[in-house]
Structure 1
Amino acid sequence: MKLMWFHLMPYTELPDDFNKKHPSVWVDIHSSLFDPRRAHHMYNDFMDELEYAAEVGFDAVCVNEHHSNGYGLMPSPNLIASSLARRTTDTALCVMGNSLALYNPPTRVAEEFAMIDCISGGRLIAGFPVGSPMDTCFAYGQNPSMLRERYYEAHDLVKKAWTEKETFAFSGRFNQQRYVNIWPRPIQDDPHPPIWIPGGGSIETWRWCAEMDYVYCYLSYYGYKAGLTTMQGFWNEMAKLGKDRNPYRAGFLQFVGVAESRQQALDLYTEPAEYFYGRCLHIDPRFATPPGYTTEATQRAGIESMVSKAANVANPATKAALKATNMKDIVDGGYVIIGSPDEVAEQVRHVATSLNVGNLMLLLQFGNMSKDTTKYNTRTFAETVMPKVKDVFGDWENRWWPKPLAHSQRAAVPTFQPKLVAAE
């Protein structure tokens, strides 16, 4: 099993009364709440945490793209990934991902991903999300009914830019380019870097992943209990399409807090968990489901997105359960796995096997968790949980993982020596 360290980069200093005085953490969150001087420290702490996760042995570090919000301060994950490409050695770099429909032209994605792959020596995992309605339709003004069409066309252009050896013209509905000839080009050219598709449960996305032989990643913040139905739906669809149950076809996101004892874990992680579910997922329902964003097939299947759940527009029967903001309900609902190393290892194995997911993306920093607590959670998981779960799915071939250059072919990793600067 692949264990991947995921970072959202949430703003860690939203006020205590945020969800009472402000309608949404996304789209129209007021600029007065953002302090660039404090964000300077947040960004540097976040990047230290990502580098630390690579240092202690996680298979990959993951970053993603969001806009106009206090829940994830990463409008350009490529900036973060390029830094990580220079500061890490063997860890895969999962950019989960670039919202393809927002780039004009999409060849920008092809170029920047190729740069990251070259700098890192072939360690890129390329994530291509359709994008949340808040990011795509409201923050960036895209027509929700045309979003998927834009997305698919952008995907075709990026993929052809990576694989076509000659300069070519591209004439689509949304993109017309006389000369497509990207420089640089990715190291991974057999035939391109692995492509993973993050999603919330769209049937069309499942079918497309099967057709294209891509990894489907269910990025839910409501844990393995709520995610079971969606992942069962995914595997049922794979069976209908004649695909095998190779667990590396799928990824899943899970919050985890591990400590020496269950009580210590509760003491350490209650505040950041309640901060995340009470403030970071405080989304105004008017932004959650713009007409045309959710396809007819997905609506008929009754699959609700993570955004809909966060915005409290879920089915009334499940509404209360999906809006837990106190630690007891958060833990009981499986949103966050909490406990001692043995307890967490047992639950992680259960998540992987019950959902049949070979790529487990772990949120070990969430909410307003401090840098020291994040590093403790990360180190404790790596040292005491990881060895107990790495053997899961060892009999399956993982065809969707990066194929980097041999160490003998790579550039030397720089050694950074901090300079002493006199105090002003």
Structure 2
Amino acid sequence: MKFTWFNLMPWPYLPDDFREKHRSVWVDIDSRLFDPTKSHEVYNSYMDMLEYAGTLGFDGIGVNEHHQNGYGIMPSPNIIAAGLARRTSDVGLVVLGNSIALYNPPVRVAEEFAMLDCISGGRLVAGFPVGTSMDTNYCYGQIPALTREKYQEAHDLIRRAWSDPDPFAWNGRYNKLRHVNIWPRPIQDPPPIHIPGGGSVETYDFCIDNTYSYSYLSFSGYIRAKALMQGYWDRVAERNAPDESPYRAGFAQTICVADTDEEAERLYSEHVSYFYNRCLHV
């Protein structure tokens, strides 16, 4: 088992009456709630936490991509990961996702992930989420019925860009490129890939077909996470996958550590309440 310390980077200054006065934390959230003068401290504090986690024995430190929201103010996790690559030395850089269906062309992801792998000395763990509807369809205007097709083509293009040593042309449905020949190239051949998902069978199958780790991002407690992950393992068995390695799956969980329940409530209740009642007000 491996452990990653993951930071969503939520905006910490949503008002107490946010749920009552605002429709959602996502897509059409009032931009006046964001204070650029405070963001300097917020971003650097979060990066300090990630760097510190890298010294505590975690196998990885995690960042991810979201857009137009107060739930996670990291539209470009690669920028954060680049900073962490320079200021950490032996911890995995787990980019929980570039939403590859959004990139035109997706070779941009192949290039930036290759850069991160080179800067970090081969520590990148590359995440390819399909993406939330809020990010992919509402904020970036992708057609829902075409998102998975675009995702599949982007995945295939990125993988070939990493593996093919010779220039090639790409004549896909959504990407037509005369010359694909990425510089730099990743140290790892290829970087390990994991797929964050929300429980769809299509994502289960994609992970099984490609022998990728399926990662469920759970904020609903271990009981729901257990039920959903059991659905994944049932699908693995149903598909007669080659093995049941524990590295086929992972899930994110909020964990509060203290000597007693009372101490945990004293230390964390304010912060947990903030996250669940404001940052998850979708």
Q: Report the secondary structure of 1:125's partner residue.
A: strand
Which residue of 2 is the match for residue 229 of structure 1?
A: 227
C-alpha contact 1:24 1:282 (8 A) present in aligned 2: yes
Which residue of 2 is the match for residue 334 of structure 1?
A: none
Write the distance in 1 (CA, Å) between the matches of 2:30 and 2:5: 30
Map 1:18-97; keep pairs closer than 5 Å: 18-97=18-97
Write the distance in 1 (CA, Å) between the matches of 2:44 and 2:37: 11
* RMSD (CA atoms): 0.7
Map 1:266-277; keep pairs closer than 5 Å: 266-277=265-276
Q: Aligned-pair distance for 1:245?
A: 1.8
Write the distance in 2 (CA, Å) between the matches of 1:263 and 1:233: 34
CA deviations on 1:235-270 (whole Å, 9 max, x unpaired) are 011011212221111010110111233212110100
Q: Structure 1 residues 261 and 229, CA, compared in 2 at 3 Å: closer, same or farther?
A: closer
Write the distance in 1 (CA, Å) between the matches of 2:173 and 2:12: 41
Which of 200, 203, 224 aligns to 1:202? It is 200
Which residue of 2 is the match for residue 378 of structure 1?
A: none
Q: Aligned-pair distance for 1:84?
A: 0.7
Which residue of 2 is the match for residue 220 of structure 1?
A: 218
Map 1:215-294; keep pairs closer than 5 Å: 215-243=213-241, 244-283=243-282
Q: Aligned-pair distance for 1:3?
A: 1.1
Write the distance in 2 (CA, Å) between the matches of 1:45 and 1:233: 37
Write the distance in 2 (CA, Å) between the matches of 1:31 and 1:183: 37
C-alpha contact 1:91 1:123 (8 A) present in aligned 2: yes
Q: Report the secondary structure of 2:73's partner residue.
A: coil
Which residue of 2 is the match for residue 133 of structure 1?
A: 133
Q: Report the secondary structure of 1:11's partner residue.
A: coil
Q: Report the secondary structure of 1:177's partner residue.
A: strand
Q: Report the secondary structure of 2:254's partner residue.
A: strand
Map 1:246-395; keep pairs closer than 5 Å: 246-283=245-282
| 1:2 to 2:39 alignment | no
C-alpha contact 1:106 1:157 (8 A) present in aligned 2: yes
CA deviations on 1:81-131 (whole Å, 9 max, x unpaired) are 111111111100100110001101100000000000000010000000000
Write the distance in 1 (CA, Å) between the matches of 2:272 and 2:261: 15
Q: Scaled by the length of structure 2, what TM-score is found?
A: 0.98
Q: Aligned-pair distance for 1:223?
A: 1.8
Q: Report the secondary structure of 2:196's partner residue.
A: strand
Q: Report the secondary structure of 2:65's partner residue.
A: coil
Q: Aligned-pair distance for 1:227?
A: 1.2
Q: Aligned-pair distance for 1:56?
A: 1.3
Write the distance in 2 (CA, Å) between the matches of 1:239 and 1:264: 41
Gaps of 5+ in 1: 284-424
Structure with bigger RCO (C-alpha 8 Å, 6+ apart): 1
Q: Report the secondary structure of 1:10's partner residue.
A: coil
The one-letter amino acid of 1:268's match is: L
CA deviations on 1:265-324 (whole Å, 9 max, x unpaired) are 1101001111111000101xxxxxxxxxxxxxxxxxxxxxxxxxxxxxxxxxxxxxxxxx
Write the distance in 1 (CA, Å) between the matches of 2:34 and 2:25: 12
Q: Scaled by the length of structure 1, what TM-score is found?
A: 0.66
Which residue of 2 is the match for residue 115 of structure 1?
A: 115
The one-letter amino acid of 1:15's match is: P
The one-letter amino acid of 1:197's match is: I
Q: Report the secondary structure of 1:156's partner residue.
A: helix
Q: Report the secondary structure of 1:255's partner residue.
A: coil
Write the distance in 2 (CA, Å) between the matches of 1:224 and 1:257: 13
How many residues get paired? 281
C-alpha contact 1:223 1:253 (8 A) present in aligned 2: no
Which residue of 2 is the match for residue 319 of structure 1?
A: none
